[in-house]
Amino acid sequence: MRGGEGERLELQAKKRPRQARAQATFDAIVQACARVLAEEGYAAVTTNRVAELAGVSIGSLYEYFPNKQAIVASALARAMREIVEEVGASLRVAVALEGQPRAGIDYWMRAMTAALEKRGALLRVALREVPFLWDIPEVRDLSDTLQHIAQEGRKKSARVVHFDDPEASTYLLMTMVWSAILQSVLYRPSHLSRERLTSTLVEMVLKLL
């Protein structure tokens, strides 16, 4: 019942399922946890609720996870890996559109938006309510991973950021774009449509390159 400070939490899954049946319950648990998180919030994630929704017994949870946090961590780590994969793939497409910078940037912005939008509810809860979020390796590394992706794109592209400090400006550009998209997904500003924001964002990025 501790929170998110001193204690070292065990966030790894306990044991690998060996039989197919076991793999199914393992997945059911992780998936059920993700659903409760997204639909009911972190406070609703009780071990009993997750077990119930997964259709397994409470005892089975502790067969594969050392504690509640490890279940949540598994669910969130999975989502992060998916996001990184989608964002990375979209960058490769964008770079392939070398000839038309606007089209490339546009595609990339929209892909990032889609990747976050698809998991909006989950991300909202994760970022706002999960106390040990930043103890999850996949989350902690996300920022750096995105930086790598951005650097990679810059190197392969003809366009370059031309400011005094290329590293700092690349970092900032990526951070700003990512934050703006995330913000609009999480906060859902009512007076400005997503479409309007995206196209304006593309303009701004082009101007900064």
Partner DNA sequence: GATTAATCCGAATAAATGCTCGGAAACACT
Partner DNA sequence: AGTGTTTCCGAGCATTTATTCGGATTAATC
Binding status of residue 20 toward DNA by CB under 7 A: yes
The answer to whether 67 contacts DNA (rule: CB under 7 A) is yes
CA dihedral of 185, 189, 194, 197, whole degrees rounded to 10: -100
For DNA (CB under 7 A), the number of binding residues is: 27
What radius of gyration, in Å, describes the C-alpha atoms of the chain? 20
Binding DNA by CB under 7 A: which of 5, 19, 164, 187?
A: 19
- Alpha helices (H) in the chain, listed in sequence order: 20-40, 47-54, 58-64, 68-96, 101-118, 120-129, 137-140, 142-156, 166-187, 194-208
Give 24 or 204: the residue with its C-beta nearer to its own copies.
204
The contact pattern for its own copies, residues 17-46, with x = CB under 8 A and - = no contact, is -----------------------xxxxx--
CB proximity list for 203: less than 8 A, separation 6 or greater: none
User: Which of positions 178-197 make contact with its own copies (CB under 8 A)?
Assistant: 179-180, 182-184, 187, 189, 192, 196-197
Residue 194 C-beta: closest distance to its own copies, Å = 11
Is 75 near its own copies (CB under 8 A)?
no
Which of the listed partners (its own copies, DNA, none) does 72 bind, with a CB threshold of 5 to 8 Å by partner kind? none
Q: How far is the CB of 163 from its own copies (least distance, A)?
A: 6
Pick 33 or 84: Cβ nearer DNA: 33
Q: Please report whether residue 18 would count as binding DNA according to CB under 7 A.
A: yes
Position of tokens 């910078």?
A: 101
Q: How far apart are alpha carbons 206 and 94 in whole angstroms?
A: 14
Residues listed for the chain: 209
